[in-house]
Amino acid sequence: MRMELAGKDKEQFSRVYIKLIIMSVTAKAGPLKQEFQFGQWCVTSTKDHILESDGPERQRFETELKLPQLPEMIFANNKLRLVHTDGFGIEFNALDALRLVDAEHDLMKVAVADAWREARADCEHINHIAKPYDWTYSSNYTGTLLGEEDSKLQVTETTERIDLEKLKVKEKIYFYEDLLLFEDELSDNGSSMLSVKIRVMPSSFFILQRFYLRVDNLLIRENDTRIYHEGGKNYILREFTCKEKPFTEIKAPLHIIIDPAEVSNFLDLKEYRFEKLEFPKVSCTQAAEVPR
């Protein structure tokens, strides 16, 4: 007997089918690894298939994270890694980002208490959560510092800011990559996504990691981490911002609301940190500028 699907069920089936095709193709192809040398920094990006539904890698994620449920799509081996010749560096990966997701408390219920009571009755995804946890997978992850404990980048507060105007100056881009770390559609009730991108120019490199959350009719949130290093300097600037706003208070058309880059301008700043990541004292060298 042939069964016909319609509406939401048909759309969900199509997404699952497409995801399975992507997993099959990328699994056969193997990880795609790219490297670029910026002075004394080696920049490495790795792209691989979606985490499979079973197997040792899946078991490792489930054991280490303790979350009742993992995001629908996790790119377990997708990584952006920057390592200095002296051994220190920084990396962005899905596992370390998900470690910072609250596995015991439903933070969304607290964040939008009034709207929550109104939306809860109609939200199938919310009502089927048996054990409280942050089902939005919100994370304030800002990267993983690499190296031995006494030779990692040294983190201190700073008043120095990333010069965004300087970044607007047109320079040749030597290397560019955009990686998706994880994504979940919250059972068709929104979107939760973490991605990281890098561009390397003649004089500097710039990284933007963005966590984007949209819970339809409740909230939009963005946690951004910006990394900037100028060749010849012995430190990196790191800026973290958390912005959010109730869904109904965002006065913008739908095409802007669902665009992480555009909707950022309509959100309220809730938290920020400005840090300087200084090269460890054991390092006697500095990052050199890439020859033009």
Is residue 269 domain-resident? yes
Backbone angles phi, psi at 104, to 5 degrees: -130, -15
Specify if 77 maps to a domain: yes
State the pLDDT at residue 123: 54
88 inside domain = yes
This prediction has a pTM of 0.82
Give the domain range for residue 208.
33-278
What is the C-alpha separation between 14 and 8, in angstroms, rounded?
10
Report yes or no on 161 lying in a domain.
Answer: yes
CB atoms within 10 A of CB 176: 13
- For 228, phi then psi, to 5°, come to -140, 130
What is the phi/psi pair of residue 161, to 5°?
-120, 155
- Residue 79: name the closest of 242, 249, 188, 198 by CA: 198
- The count of C-alpha atoms lying within 13 angstroms of the C-alpha of 99, restricted to the half-sphere facing its C-beta, is 13
**pLDDT one-digit tens code per residue, 95-118:** 999 999 999 888 776 555 455 445
Sign of the CA dihedral 117, 269, 78, 61?
negative
Specify if 156 maps to a domain: yes
Give SS3 for 47. Answer: strand
pLDDT under 70: residue ranges of the chain: 1-29, 109-130, 282-292
Structural domain contains residue 118: yes
Whether the Cβ atoms of residue 43 and residue 56 lie closer than 8 Å to each other: no
Q: What is the pLDDT of residue 76?
A: 97
Report the pLDDT value the prediction gives residue 16, as an integer from 0 to 100: 46
Instruction: Provide the domain count of the chain.
Output: 1
3 is a domain residue: no
Q: What angle do CA 202, 207, 210 make, to 5 degrees?
A: 155
Residue 113, domain member (yes or no): yes
- What pLDDT sits at residue 129? 55
| Three-state SS sequence of 100-155 | CCCCCCCHHHHHCHHHHHHHHCCCHHHHCCCCCCCCCCCCCCCCEEECCHHHCCEE
